[in-house]
Structure 1
Amino acid sequence: MSDSDPQAYVDEMVRKRGYVLDYHKLMAKQDFEVLQAANGLVSAAYLRERSLDRRTKELIFIVSLTVMRAGKGHIQSHIRVALELGVDPREILEAIEIALPEAGVVAFQHGFEAWCEVVGAEGIEPTVTVS
């Protein structure tokens, strides 16, 4: 990554991560040094393959973001990367469901809604009405 050119740095972030968040774009222009420091931590813990592969890390990220009720767009960016890495949509849903016992229905619904939008999930409408 370019240590002196914010534009090249952000472009390289997209290539390595598969996405870039709005705060990355803003920090690149407003405080490039702090963006680089924060990205260094993310690279060490998340992007570099060590014991866990990238697919597993994406699933963990999706669950942790769901439990924290992160912005839907943030969760969706990791869902998209997971799908690009070959993770099955059902595997992602199963990971999100882990939020149910630990974080509750509200947190689960937040992650589930993000998942539904990315994968185009459809539901079943009732065929009966109650008067």
Structure 2
Amino acid sequence: MSNEAQDYVDAMAEKRGYVLDYHKIMAAADFPVLQAANHVVNSAYLEERTLDRKTKELLFVLSLTVMRAPLPQLRSHIQVALDLGLSPQEILEAIEIALPEAGIVAFQYGVEAWQSVVNVDPLEPRVKVHSGKAE
């Protein structure tokens, strides 16, 4: 990886608060394409225009939930939302929007990712039940 590519990845981490595996791979393998893709992300997501960064982050969490994006990616955006000052409840409400349109599976996926970041202790039933997990 060139010094320019390394500096670019470092700047991405500083500005976004995260870098994804594909960012690191593309920096090493095809730096110009990473720059082009990142330009689109900067314009649509990172730069404040009419929507502020918090609103965009909630929309990003919702869209990643609906698409059932890789869990590390979804978790990183939940963490960024928290770092931006959004409450766990605000983030959960964004995930809940997935329920009527994308269905219970996408919603459950988002809730599980959210819980793993915010560490909510689930309530367990006091009666014996099956685990509720697919086996």
**Which TM bucket (shorter chain)?**
over 0.9
Alpha-carbon deviation of 1:129? 3.1
Equivalent residue number for residue 128 of structure 1: 127
Deviations 1:12-55 (A, max 9, x none): 00011010000000000000000000000000000111001100
- Once superposed, what is the RMSD of the aligned Cα atoms? 1.0
Q: Distance in 2 between matches of 1:50 and 1:126?
A: 47
Q: Distance in 1 between matches of 2:108 and 2:97?
A: 12
Equivalent residue number for residue 102 of structure 1: 101
Equivalent residue number for residue 17 of structure 1: 16
Which residue identity is paired with 1:15? E
Alpha-carbon deviation of 1:67? 0.3
Equivalent residue number for residue 43 of structure 1: 42
Equivalent residue number for residue 55 of structure 1: 54
Q: Percent identity?
A: 65
Task: Give the gaps of 5 or more residues in structure 1.
Answer: none
Q: Distance in 2 between matches of 1:129 and 1:29?
A: 52
Q: Distance in 1 between matches of 2:102 and 2:121?
A: 24
SS in 2 for 1:5: helix
Q: Distance in 1 between matches of 2:9 and 2:93?
A: 32
The ranges of structure 1 where at least 4 consecutive aligned residues each deviate by more than 3 angstroms after the TM superposition are: none
Task: Give the gaps of 5 or more residues in structure 2.
Answer: 130-135
Q: Distance in 2 between matches of 1:124 and 1:23?
A: 37
Which residue identity is paired with 2:121? E
Q: Residue 116 in 1 paired to residue 115 in 2? A: yes
Q: Distance in 2 between matches of 1:24 and 1:129?
A: 46
TM-score of the aligned structures, taking structure 1 as reference length: 0.94
Alpha-carbon deviation of 1:123? 1.0
Deviations 1:72-108 (A, max 9, x none): 1111111000000100000000100000000000001
Alpha-carbon deviation of 1:121? 1.1
